[in-house]
Structure 1
Amino acid sequence: MMIKFATIGTNWITQEFIKAAKEVSDFILTAVYSRTEEKAKEFAEKVGASLTFTSLEEMAKSDAIDAVYIASPNSFHAEQAILLMNHGKHVLCEKPIASNTAELQAMIEAAKRNNVVLMEAMKTTLLPNFQAIRDHVHKIGKVRRYFASYCQYSSRYDAYKQGTILNAFNPAFSNGALMDIGIYCLYPMVVLFGKPLSIKANSTMLESGVDGEGSIILDYGDMDAVVMYSKITNSYIPSEIQGENGSIIIDAIHTPTKVEIRYRDGRVEDITQSQTHHPMYYEAKEFIELIQMGKKESETNSHYHSLTTMDIIEQARKQTGIIFPADK
């Protein structure tokens, strides 16, 4: 069964998603949405979509669409997703799926009410090398620490320093380092280890009202987790899961391409899986298969995992004073 898609967002991430999703045999791109007709037509031509929409309501009503990939600014996710789900459309929503837990709860309720799939487009946890981590973590014995680092200097930070505040550093769009980058450290942790008992967060705030970088220590009782993230510096260190018998070394937590176990006795086991497809292929495939099988949520990128991750983010924001207009 072919699944007819529309997309919201005309940025590079949408282009990458379409490129990846076209590798899934049952994906077909039907329509694109943009606020202006000119941009919608230009993007549709670029990606090979036959229909364009400048009205979300009209797109939601269209019989030519089964599912929508949302890659608009974070602050628009909930409103757009709920509108689409209320018209029976399945929704794959770019991470972070919402601005806060209240929005996400409303989205989940809409998905259940309308009997449609809602899934957060978190690519990391559906990649072959993340599955390798899940399959082999038992080998390192009792886990005592999860450490994840993702620090990537944003190309938009130079503009920010020159006085131009682009979306990435604008709290109006529910943005900042924790929302954009930190989530890549937190979501895999939640899938592997569940909900922490407590958290302690620190952030470096920028004058625009978003965080430029930060770190969180999370208590799991018999283990702890440490995550570091940044949009204003780079880091070159790998991430690591430390167990009593050895450690799993992960080259890049957001898109792992090399994963190995280093045992205490000096042995090294390479558990890397070959990743033959575009990194976003796996989320598209998971989402399409859920629709085809009549399932309503992913077991990995589940509503619970998304809610737990968003709850951690919300706690961290409260502790460090990151407030969005969407919170009010």
Structure 2
Amino acid sequence: MIRIGIVGTNWITERLLEAANAVENFKLTAIYSRTSERADEFASKYGITKLFTNLEEMAVSEEIDAVYIATPNSYHADQAILFLQNGKHVLCEKPLAANATEVARMIQAAINHNVLLMEAMKSTFLPNFKVIQDNLHKICPIRRYFASYCQYSSRYDKYKEGIVLNAFNPKFANGSLMDLGVYCLYPLIILFGEPKEVRATGLILDSGVDGEGSVLLKYDDKDAVVIYSKITNSSLPSEIQGEKGSMIIDKIHSAEKVEIHYNDGTIEPLTVDQSHPSMYYEVKEFVDLISQGKTESTINSFENSHTTMRLLDKVREEIGLIFPSDLK
């Protein structure tokens, strides 16, 4: 059994734990929260007996083998490095950190201490993402990648009332790009590598984070268009266009339906069974890697995570989005 500690007690943690119920060798053993009240509340719900309100104490505990970090983005790097330096494996929520400099530090800490660091980007472990990879050759040569993730945030209503919650607070390295845009850009990096050129626009809200944005990316033989938003909705699917047809992906962040529309009008359904909760697949990968003694995922690899974060940095530079973490 891989004994897992949880850092961060929010809705995404609850989603992960629901998914982890079906993962063999996953054992939840400890929880960290800033307050004992919240730790007690969370622990009683999941039957956890080991509670921490001090991260340093948790990091040296012999009762955990690994941790899942689901705190605000600006905390990821320091918290992950603390656990990595103490020999604990780390599954860290996306985006892996606030900027590429932090990601590089995290990767180096994992290498130095021979432990696993993996970004919890769930979509790239989904069975239907593997379907996308395995069937792209049918429409080659590829000429365009288009990805859209626009989802109106309920927290935006609070924002318009003058209440700035974490999702729209630059202190936590949040905003539309970091929360939703990354779901469009990470698959692009895995499928096609790092682009040659990046151009971006975005709407910076008064709080100092972006509400929405668009990115144009140039490769030698193709281009990519990405749109994302936390202040508008979109029902557009994502699409990979090739000279022989187009691959239609209903949702880039969950890939529940995939099919090819060929130039002659025929449609080939590609969707495979994806009945587990979407976070199941990333948790299984993390636990399996630890069980196999591996310290890096071949899918959400160090290179893919670092390249994606460098790309996010370039987009932020283009739109003038600066986080306090950048100034450290």
Asked if Structure 1 and Structure 2 have the same fold, meaning a TM-score greater than 0.5 normalized by the shorter chain, the answer is yes
Question: In the aligned structure 2, how far is the partner of 1:210 from the partner of 1:221?
Answer: 32
Structure 2 counterparts to residues 43-58 of structure 1, below 5 A: 43-58=42-57
Secondary structure of 2:40's counterpart equals: helix
Question: In the aligned structure 2, how far is the partner of 1:247 from the partner of 1:296?
Answer: 36
- What's the offset of the Cα at 1:221? 1.4
Give a deviation string over 1:237-277, Cα, whole Å, max 9, x none.
10000000011000000001000000001110000011121
Counterpart in the other structure of 2:26: 27
Counterpart in the other structure of 1:218: 217
Counterpart in the other structure of 1:38: 37
Question: In the aligned structure 2, how far is the partner of 1:141 from the partner of 1:76?
Answer: 41
- What's the offset of the Cα at 1:219? 0.3
- What's the offset of the Cα at 1:82? 0.3
Counterpart in the other structure of 2:208: 209
Question: In the aligned structure 1, how far is the partner of 2:149 from the partner of 2:47?
Answer: 34
Question: In the aligned structure 1, how far is the partner of 2:306 from the partner of 2:48?
Answer: 33
Counterpart in the other structure of 2:118: 119
Give a deviation string over 1:59-98, Cα, whole Å, max 9, x none.
0011110010000000000000000111100000000010
AA matched with 2:162:
G
Question: In the aligned structure 2, how far is the partner of 1:41 from the partner of 1:246?
Answer: 54
* Counterpart contact for 1:15–1:47, Cα < 8 Å: no
Counterpart in the other structure of 1:69: 68
Structure 2 counterparts to residues 118-137 of structure 1, below 5 A: 118-137=117-136
1:195 aligns with 2:194: yes
Counterpart in the other structure of 2:241: 242
Counterpart in the other structure of 2:3: 4
- What's the offset of the Cα at 1:47? 2.0
- What's the offset of the Cα at 1:141? 1.6
Question: In the aligned structure 1, how far is the partner of 2:275 from the partner of 2:227?
Answer: 29
Give a deviation string over 1:298-324, Cα, whole Å, max 9, x none.
111001000111011000101111000
Unaligned runs of 5+ in 1: none
Structure 2 counterparts to residues 1-328 of structure 1, below 5 A: 2-328=1-327
Instruction: Give me the identity figure in percent.
Output: 61
- What's the offset of the Cα at 1:49? 1.6
- What's the offset of the Cα at 1:122? 0.2
AA matched with 2:66:
A
- What's the offset of the Cα at 1:293? 1.0
Relative to the length of structure 2, the TM-score reads 0.99
AA matched with 2:295:
K
Give a deviation string over 1:108-141, Cα, whole Å, max 9, x none.
0000011000000000000001000001010012
- What's the offset of the Cα at 1:181? 0.4
Give a deviation string over 1:150-179, Cα, whole Å, max 9, x none.
000001000000000000000000000000
AA matched with 1:137:
L
Large movers: runs of 4+ above 4 Å: none
Question: In the aligned structure 2, how far is the partner of 1:129 from the partner of 1:8?
Answer: 29
Question: In the aligned structure 2, how far is the partner of 1:278 from the partner of 1:50?
Answer: 26
Secondary structure of 1:156's counterpart equals: helix
Question: In the aligned structure 1, how far is the partner of 2:249 from the partner of 2:44?
Answer: 39
Question: In the aligned structure 1, how far is the partner of 2:185 from the partner of 2:299?
Answer: 14
- What's the offset of the Cα at 1:191? 0.5
Relative to the length of structure 1, the TM-score reads 0.99
AA matched with 1:8:
V
Question: In the aligned structure 2, how far is the partner of 1:125 from the partner of 1:293?
Answer: 20
